[in-house]
Amino acid sequence: MRPEAVEAMLPFLTERFGNPSGAHAVSREARKALDEARDTVAQCLEARPAEVVFTGGGTEADNLAILGALAVRRGPTVCSAVEHHAVLHTCQAAGDNRLLPVDGNGVVDLQRLPELLDPSVSVVSVMLANNEVGVIEPVREVVALTRELAPEAVVHTDAVQAFPWLDVAALAGAADLVAVSAHKFGGPKGVGALVVRQGVQVRPMIHGGGQERDRRSGTHNVAGIVAMAAAMRATVDGRAAEVARIRALRDRLADGLLATVPGCAETGDRANKIAGNCHLTFDGVESEELLVLLDAAGVYASAGSACASGAVDPSHVMAAMGVPRARALGALRLSLGPRTTEADVELALSAVPAAVSRLRQG
Ligand code: PLP
């Protein structure tokens, strides 16, 4: 977590442990902190305070957006084929889901969107930045086409990965619903927010005491919310400088590996990716084995593949991008963030080629 976030939350775990829904002085203090946090989050997302609904993370925000909108008006959902499972599985569970394909770079195919849209469509959900390959999606264009061809549909964007790197308000345009998650930008896990634009209706999924204007019941996670707001403020204030620094580190890492490791390819168009994402594939190498060797070398990476019931499948993102299965099975995602140093990049630049050549020698 960012130090600003830790510092902001500590008093609310100790001497300021009031419940903002109560009536006495300790509660009022917590209510004030909650209101201030809401103002900050609203400012950082260019929303009105009343449009911010605090949730228990990104997954819950995505679920509230999609299921909450469907409960108001049932109809087919349209989402991109590369959505995080928090969106993809939610749309699929609701039934009647139409998948918007992506091109070889992971960008949604806007030419195909009109054939998926008609006035019956209820929800359109396209993420702002992809969590696996880092690609930035044309959400403004998705909003414009939806307004034209499915005027009653609401547009949701999962901005969970985008927020640390991008001006979400500018890129999400007039999207009706925008989800963020604190642990992606230096806040705590288990807290997030959904922006519900004025005039847009979502039915609650969690019923109870009527908190959050009856859109999400449950005693507020005051410490988490206050910490999220502090992390958001620090992220927005430092974003331009941090993005430039991290982009330079990422470029050195990606270029270094592409130049030194034969059979290494980059996934997606780097010019259209968030700065902290380095996604590569290595021919003839299995991700899972690569991760084990890297872990031992102190490089904590992830693969683009998910292991289910013993069988390793390429990720749905790489499959949707049309990356051949053999190549997709050798995927490696190296994520950089505010705490990544030059020394970390140097370590990866020596550990990855060593691990790949060891695996290729069998
Ligand atoms: N959406 C995207 C794009 C994500 O990357 C994640 C987290 O990995 C989520 C949603 C889920 O957020 P949370 O972990 O806060 O539930």
**What confidence tier does 313 reach under pLDDT thresholds 50, 70, 90?**
confident
How far from chain centre, in Å, is Cα 201?
23
pLDDT (tens digit, 9 = 90+) per residue, 247-275? 999 999 999 999 999 999 999 999 999 99
Q: What is the pLDDT of residue 180?
A: 98
Q: Could you tell me the pLDDT band of residue 87, with boundaries at 50, 70 and 90? A: very high
CA torsion sign, 43 to 49 to 51 to 56? positive
Residue 312 has pLDDT above 80, yes or no: no
Give ligand 1 pocket residues (Cβ under 6 A): 57-59, 62, 84, 86, 127, 131, 158, 160-161, 181, 183, 192
Cβ atoms of residues 131 and 268 within 8 Å: no
Is the confidence at residue 362, as pLDDT, over 90?
no
Q: Summarize the confidence of residues 343-348 as an average pLDDT.
A: 98
Between the CA of 272 and the centroid of ligand 1 the distance, in Å, is: 20
- Please compute the mean of the pLDDT values over residues 34-45 and round it to a whole number: 98
Q: Tell me what the mean pLDDT of segment 43-71 comes to.
A: 98
| Residues belonging to the active site | 307
Give the mean pLDDT of the chain: 96
Query: What share of the chain in percent tops pLDDT 70?
Result: 98
Task: Give how far Cα 203 sits from Cα of 109, 185, 259, Å.
Answer: 31, 28, 52
58 within 8 A of 162, measured Cβ to Cβ: no
The residue-averaged pLDDT of 11-34 equals 93
Counting from 1 in the atom list of ligand 1, the atom nearest the Cα of 130 is 3
- Evaluate if residue 211 carries a pLDDT over 90: yes
Does residue 292 have a pLDDT over 90? yes
Ligand 1 pocket mutation pick from 60, 84, 125, 166 by most atoms within 8 angstroms of CB: 84
* Residue 234, token pair as written in the block: 């620090």
Among protein residues, the one with the nearest Cα to ligand 1's atom 8 is: 131
Instruction: Choose which residue among 54, 63, 181, 221 to substitute to test ligand 1 binding: the one with the highest number of ligand atoms within 8 A of its C-beta.
Output: 181
Q: In what order do the strands lie in the sheet with 123-125?
A: 52-55, 192-196, 177-181, 154-158, 123-125, 77-80, 97-100
SS3 state at 133: coil
What's the whole-number mean pLDDT along residues 44-56? 98
Residue burial 239-256, b: 16+ Cβ < 10 Å; e: rest:
beebbebbbebbebbbeb
CB 9 within 8 A of CB 223: yes
Question: What tokens were used for 310?
Answer: 């013993």
Q: For 331, how many CA atoms within 13 A lie in the half-sphere containing its CB? A: 29
Given pLDDT bands bounded at 50, 70 and 90, which one contains residue 173?
A: confident
- Tokens at residue 344, please? 């970390």
CA of 59 to the centre of ligand 1 (A): 6
**Token digits for 102?**
């992506």
- Quote the CA–CA distance of 42 and 331 in Å, as a whole number: 37
**Does the pLDDT of residue 221 top 80, yes or no?**
yes
Q: With 70 as the cut, is the pLDDT of residue 335 above it?
A: yes
Q: How deeply is 48 buried, as exposed, middle or buried, from its count of CB atoms within 10 A (0-12, 13-18, 19+)? A: middle
Ramachandran category for residue 299: left, alpha or beta (phi over 0 → left; psi -120 to 50 → alpha): beta
Over residues 123-160, the pLDDT tens digits come to: 999 999 999 999 999 999 999 999 999 999 999 999 99
| Separation between Cα atoms, residue 142 and residue 173, nearest integer Å | 10
- How many A from CA of 261 to the centre of ligand 1? 31
Encode pLDDT of 64-81 as tens digits.
Answer: 999 999 999 999 999 999
- Whether residue 21 has pLDDT greater than 80: yes
Both tokens of residue 317?
A: 């993102």
pLDDT band at residue 310, thresholds of 50, 70 and 90?
low
The per-residue pLDDT for 166 is 98
**Would you state the pLDDT for residue 307?**
54
What dihedral do alpha carbons 92, 95, 100, 101 form, nearest 10°?
60
Q: 181 alpha carbon to ligand 1 midpoint, in Å?
A: 7
In this structure, are strands 77-80 and 123-125 parallel, antiparallel, or unpaired? Answer: parallel
pTM: 0.97
> Which ligand 1 atom is nearest residue 129's CA?
3
